[in-house]
């Protein structure tokens, strides 16, 4: 059990644990009564188990030299250590895209055997992520250019400093354009009524509100 505990906490290199057995001997009369010259005794041995441990100071001193170090490995030998660290710090952005492809785009396992179809499906998801990233980049750069720190883009309208494409699309998801028809003839078109926030986002993205209006 003691060895298992040491292994569980990954300190086997630093500790040497031993189980020791100590024997205690007692002598007891074989019969009742006062002891005398002819009294016979029997030996009773009790065992006591103890744990002894010692530290390996040499192993501790060796590992102490690397305390606080953060090793990084790369196959790009042209990068300096500072550039490797900078590239590593961009990892959360890549992982964020993986999270978005699973949540926003709801990617799921599919049973495709043809390599061409697999490549086509992956290409579609890649293009979706690319468009998503470009929309976010365009909007955030425009906010910075116009000195806009935040936009109330969430459903409850709290301020958001880094709007996502998911929230931008949600903002326009309820915009509707209706046609009043008489048979096959269009009587009247009711264009989408955009809110001030929607117009502001379109302006930042460089998209004309006419995209939501009648073409002819």
Contacts of range 94-97, beta carbons closer than 8 Å, 24 or more positions apart: 97/129, 97/133
Of the two residues 36 and 159, the one the predictor is more confident about is 159
Confidence of residue 97 (pLDDT cuts 50, 70, 90): confident
Each residue's pLDDT tens digit, 3-30: 667 677 777 788 887 888 888 888 887 7
Pair 72, 26: CB distance under 8 Å: no
High-pLDDT (> 90) share of the chain, %: 18
Residue 172 backbone zone (phi > 0: left; psi -120 to 50: alpha; other: beta): alpha
In sign, the C-alpha dihedral spanning 166, 153, 164, 200 is positive
pLDDT number for residue 67:
84
Beta strands in 12-166 (DSSP E): 15-29, 41-55
pLDDT (tens digit per residue) in 147-201: 999 999 888 878 888 998 989 988 888 888 888 888 888 888 888 888 899 999 9
- Residue boundaries of the structural domains of the chain: 2-64, 89-212
Q: What is the DSSP string of 189-209?
A: EE-----HHHHHHHHHHT--G
Residue 45 near residue 23, CB atoms below 8 Å: yes
Average pLDDT of span 115-129:
90
- Rounding to the nearest 10 degrees, give the CA dihedral for residues 196, 199, 205, 209: 180
Look-up of token digits 């188990």: 49
Stated as kind and residue range, the H or E segment containing 110 is: none
pTM of the model: 0.56
């Amino acid at each position: 059990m003691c060895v298992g505990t040491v292994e569980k906490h990954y300190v086997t290199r630093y500790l040497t644990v031993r189980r020791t057995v100590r024997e205690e001997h007692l002598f007891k009369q074989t019969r009742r009564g006062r002891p005398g010259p002819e009294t016979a005794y029997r030996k009773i041995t009790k065992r006591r188990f103890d744990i002894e441990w010692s530290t390996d100071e040499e192993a501790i001193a060796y590992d102490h030299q690397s305390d606080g170090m953060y090793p990084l490995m790369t196959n790009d030998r042209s990068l300096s250590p500072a550039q490797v660290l900078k590239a590593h710090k961009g990892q959360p952005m890549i992982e964020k895209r993986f999270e978005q492809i699973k949540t926003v785009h709801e990617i799921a396992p599919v049973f495709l055997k043809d390599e061409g179809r697999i490549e086509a499906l992956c290409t579609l998801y890649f293009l979706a992520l690319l468009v998503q990233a470009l929309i976010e980049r365009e909007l955030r750069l425009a906010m910075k250019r116009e000195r806009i720190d935040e936009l109330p883009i969430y459903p409850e309208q709290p301020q958001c400093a880094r709007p996502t494409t998911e929230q931008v699309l949600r903002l326009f998801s309820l915009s509707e354009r209706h046609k009043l028809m008489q048979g096959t003839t269009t009587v009247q078109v009711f264009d989408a009524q955009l809110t001030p926030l929607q117009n502001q986002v379109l302006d930042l993205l460089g998209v004309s509100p006419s995209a939501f209006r009648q073409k002819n």
